Chain A
């Protein structure tokens, strides 16, 4: 089984390795060509070390994100300091803060505008489940309702160390993906989806008839 290595942190020290192993198994279910696999590893190495975050922050967690970028915690050590303001150029969207129902379509739009491969990290209680505001009429209870989330970083707000840990977990996920497999495009081609829906519709109609 392929195990992602993170520099100076042993595999066992990561939590929730079971989920991770399951994910690896799922990704490698088909098996792969040796040469292709080597090339994959190279690309994954590149991708995992160059996750440029989108500057996206709605509330408190955003300030902690700034602290992560600042001198003491210095996210630049991992090479993630190139924060991009345009979603087209970003690789990972760190959902820092509460997402309200008014913000939800905007977030979805930002996610859609990002170029593949793209990743989502839900940071803080609010973006995981609505946090302290989950009973509110205007708060989305978890961003995973609208966009697929790769890593959850709990906390309110999470400490900078948890940010870095979450980012390393994301690196581990990226490191086992297959470029030449299916994961390069997370979502299906919208045109294909449209066609499938149409087909299904026709099939249903036929069945009813």
Chain B
């Protein structure tokens, strides 16, 4: 039945291209489901297609400023660079108004490949600063007026711009075993009155700063993150994050892969959100193709996402305890995490890298034990959350170390684009599951956990409360997983229609988005992931300023970033 549906959807999608399509099969052939009958898929090709508004580089800043000031677009969701070869280099801005949820998408194309210049938006959104550095690193687009135009991921002596289609990356960049040069100055490109560009040097640190390197090999940076920290005694003056130690060029390799192949890499981005990342990519491709997956798949995906979220939050708890010196609590967290991994293992075969979602459904149906195991897990976990509170939350040392430490205001988290628990701890309602329900989230009851303090303790509590909410979601779904196909039949070669597509899910630590630009081939022309962790690292300087060096650990632990997700 759903095969028919699948064909229908595909034919409908094809209908826009070729009018000679089969008549649509009756929509009544839908599998029995708990979902209230949704209207039949409209004839338009894809729900997630973006129609960016073209803006010239010269007018870009004014337009952005207008959107920011007048239309209240206070959240820069994503900023993507694209190399259109002969058509020049493009920058895609995705903006959102956090109160009305209205979105605006802008695109700016520059044709000058030698010296591409785009005005910076760093004065409007704080996170633009980091995103623009990323685009500069990948495409060499210089943002005029950006105060800190350095590479973000590559070494400073890297030659060329790896994401350009004509870049001879391998040839220019042999393995360099010399110590990485880290300059103490940064460049700002200033557009003068007469249209010329001048480079202005800025010093990153002051002369009398005592700079220590935390990372890249450091126990509490959660991976290979490198902070250059300027200290005054024990107080932090400034943090300069150096990224890219685990930059694997996932987006670039994906351009040479077919769509099913690209799936494999998503699990390895944020390995604590493996299910959700892959869900996002599958959803993006499915929506772009017009495939509608069965209800069973939606529910399974939702349950898996929530299990993954619990897994991630338990790991968050464990690592935070470890960082703060409470080693025993760390092991308690891991003890419970193993239970989830058991559930995953039975169904998916993997413990950490699950490779479960696939285009059109999931790889395999759920294991016969799945429902039983999950039902056993829910009360077990509820009981153990109490134990976490007993051993760690109530501890006076932890409370003293986290309350009022690293306070972020709501304006700051929005400006930095810190979604997920970090944003919600500061009072920003950004839970995508509530804002734009996807999968099966529209049929479950749950609360969006938010707090207003914005300090480390709030960020910590948010996560523990979210575990309970996730358990609640799973509880509602686990008993009524609808019957149906666990995977739609897909064509052997999957091709996306021409266009730009964007889908996102609520990952373990924020909104994880997938941007695909397709030329109609079997591999993406440009694939960009909206990293959940990059804004979280970008905000570290603001959050840690004037705190102690020990607070850096607390704050870094509570904003909860995963480095491979930042570097991609």
Chains A and B directly touch (beta carbon < 8 Å): yes
CA distance A59 to B223 in the complex (A): 6
Q: From residue B211, how far is it (CB to closest CB) to chain A in Å?
A: 17
CA distance A175 to B38 in the complex (A): 67
Q: What is the 8 Å Cβ interface bit string for chain A, positions 120-144, against chain B (1 contact, 0 not)?
A: 0000000000001101111110000
CA distance A109 to B223 in the complex (A): 17
Answer whether A63 and B217 are a contact pair too, CB < 8 Å, given A70-B331, A71-B334, A98-B248: no
Residues in chain B near residue A157, CB distance under 8 A:
351-353
For this complex, into which size category does the number of interface residues on chain B fall?
35 or more
Q: What is the 8 Å Cβ interface bit string for chain B, positions 206-223, against chain A (1 contact, 0 not)?
A: 000000000011110001
Residue from A62, A63, A133, A137 within 8 A of B173 (CB atoms)? A137
Residue from A55, A59, A156 within 8 A of B564 (CB atoms)? A59
Q: What is the 8 Å Cβ interface bit string for chain B, positions 361-398, against chain A (1 contact, 0 not)?
A: 00000000000000000000000000000000000000
Closest to B267 in A: A60
In the complex, whether B86 has a CB less than 8 A from a CB of chain A is: no
Contact assessment for B176 and A101 in the assembled complex, using a CB-CB cutoff below 8 Å: yes
Answer whether A136 and B252 are a contact pair too, CB < 8 Å, given A60-B353, A156-B353: yes
Answer whether A106 and B245 are a contact pair too, CB < 8 Å, given A56-B217, A132-B264: yes
Q: From residue A108, how far is it (CB to closest CB) to chain B in Å?
A: 6
Residue from B177, B248, B341, B351 within 8 A of A104 (CB atoms)? B177
Q: From residue B350, how far is it (CB to closest CB) to chain A in Å?
A: 9
Interface of B is mostly: loop
Residues in chain B near residue A2, CB distance under 8 A:
none
Closest to B175 in A: A101
Contact assessment for B253 and A136 in the assembled complex, using a CB-CB cutoff below 8 Å: yes
Residue from A59, A97, A137 within 8 A of B169 (CB atoms)? A137
Closest to B172 in A: A137
Closest to A110 in B: B217
Contact assessment for A106 and B216 in the assembled complex, using a CB-CB cutoff below 8 Å: yes
Q: From residue B298, how far is it (CB to closest CB) to chain A in Å?
A: 27
In the complex, whether A17 has a CB less than 8 A from a CB of chain B is: no
Residue from A56, A109, A138, A159 within 8 A of B248 (CB atoms)? A138
When A and B form their complex, which 6 residue pairs have the shortest distance between CB atoms, in order from nearest?
A70-B334, A137-B169, A60-B271, A59-B564, A136-B249, A133-B248
- Sample of 12 more A-B contacts, CB < 8 Å, known A60-B564, A70-B338: A101-B155, A102-B153, A102-B247, A106-B217, A109-B179, A133-B265, A136-B252, A137-B169, A138-B153, A138-B248, A138-B249, A157-B352
Q: List 6 A-B contacts (CB under 8 A).
A: A55-B219, A64-B351, A102-B153, A102-B245, A105-B176, A106-B180
The residues of A with any CB-CB pair to B shorter than 8 Å are 55-60, 62-64, 66-67, 70-72, 85, 87, 97-98, 100-106, 108-110, 132-133, 135-140, 145-146, 156-157, 159
